[in-house]
Amino acid sequence: MLAFIFTFAFSVRPEAQEQVGDGVFDTQEEIDSAEEDLRNEQERTADAEFVRELDLRRQAIDEMQGSQGIYSPQLQEAYGDLAALYAEVEDFESAIRVYTDALQISRINTGLYSDEQLPIIASLIKSNSQLSNWEETDDLHELRYHISSRFYELGDLAYLEAAENYGEWKLRLLQQNLLDLGYRSYSRNAEDLSEFYERLLDNLEIQTDTRPENLIGIITGKSETDLVLARAIASTPYTTFEGTVSRYLNQQRCRNVRNAAGQTVRECVNVQVENPRYRQSQVDAKQFAMNRRTRAVQESIDSLRQIYDQSSDLGRVERAELEAQIAELETQAFQLLRQSRSRRRF
């Protein structure tokens, strides 16, 4: 009998018991409540740890400013650590403010152009992107590339990486139209980016130590930029384009009228009328712009194909990736060519 009671006592609802933290609970409601209490306690602990760490870093900055001055070079790292703490808790506005202080300290101590500024600018770019501050982000990308172009030699891997990063950002601006540009501003920015790539490639081609494999990212960026611009051209009405002939013509129109003496005289006036050839010239201008971009894309494809065929330094994976890039570009170029021959585009 005692054995039965013992067995019964330890077999009642074993599946309903669950341990949370240091306690054991029977009902789901108790379990949920315990889990919420545990989460709240963890959040309070994390908040307290953040406040403690924040106070320590602020105190370190105050002591450093007091002992070494407000422009001490050591403040750059201290500001960076404080900003990183703000970014970790997603307080990006505070992070941007402190990173900006760190950049100012760096520029005072190392000059306007130094590689020490580049990591700070990269952090500012990341924080501004998190807040969708696209104009500020664009300005920072411009600054980062400007410093890199002055600090690194043309053809250095560090310079090529900086150029690719700059181009990738500008291409993203276009593809997502982050600055909400109208057609004219949009196309002008796209043309500027395409010309940037073209100048860069021209300058790199005369460098005897530039490996063709290092140009793949630059060539691909230019081709994607030309594709973006070609699509913008294709989707824009021909009436947006400037015609290649004068829009208006001056004509003289005459008529017979009676003067004050009752005599019939001929009276002529000069008037402006629309040139009947102007609209066709707009169509031609759009076609010319479209052809120019499709040719540019094909030239990039040819350059990539030449690297693929002639390079002996590409590994198996790199060759496969390059072949896939070429195939994708050829597909998009074919689609553009087919669109350019369709009169429905106009």
For residue 311, give every residue at least 6 positions away whose Cβ sits within 8 Å of its Cβ, in sequence order, or none: 212, 213
Query: Which pLDDT score is estimated for 54?
Result: 84
Q: Is the residue at 344 inside a domain?
A: yes
Q: Is the residue at 256 inside a domain?
A: no
Q: Is the residue at 187 inside a domain?
A: yes
Query: If residue 258 lies in a helix (H) or strand (E), which one and from where to where?
Result: strand 248-258
* pLDDT tens digit sequence for 13-42: 444 445 544 555 557 776 666 677 667 766
φ and ψ of 82, to 5 deg: -65, -45
Give yes or no for a contact between 259 and 265, defined as CB atoms under 8 angstroms apart: yes
Q: Is the residue at 144 inside a domain?
A: no
On the 0-12 / 13-18 / 19+ scale of CB atoms within 10 A, 263 is exposed
Given a cut of 70, the residues of the chain with pLDDT beneath it are: 1-26, 30-34, 37-38, 41-44, 46-48, 340-346
Nearest to 195 by CA among 221, 215, 169, 176: 221
Place of tokens 């006592």: 9
Place of tokens 């330094």: 313
Query: Which pLDDT score is estimated for 225?
Result: 95
Q: Is the residue at 196 inside a domain?
A: yes
Domain hosting residue 225, numbered range: 157-239+287-346
Mean pLDDT of all residues belonging to the chain: 85
Query: If residue 43 lies in a helix (H) or strand (E), which one and from where to where?
Result: helix 28-68
* pLDDT tens digit sequence for 145-189: 999 999 898 878 899 999 999 999 999 999 999 999 988 899 899
Query: Which pLDDT score is estimated for 262?
Result: 82
Strand partners, 271: 251
Query: Which pLDDT score is estimated for 141?
Result: 97
Distances, alpha carbon 206 to alpha carbons 155, 211, 215, 238, 307, in Å = 10, 11, 13, 39, 16
Q: Is the residue at 91 inside a domain?
A: no
Q: Is the residue at 68 inside a domain?
A: no
Q: Cα–Cα distance between 218 and 171 in angstroms, integer?
A: 12
Q: Is the residue at 193 inside a domain?
A: yes
Q: Number of folded domains in the chain?
A: 1
Instruction: Supply the DSSP symbol for 255.
Output: E
Nearest to 270 by CA among 248, 254, 281, 294: 254
How many helices (H) and strands (E) in the chain? 11, 4
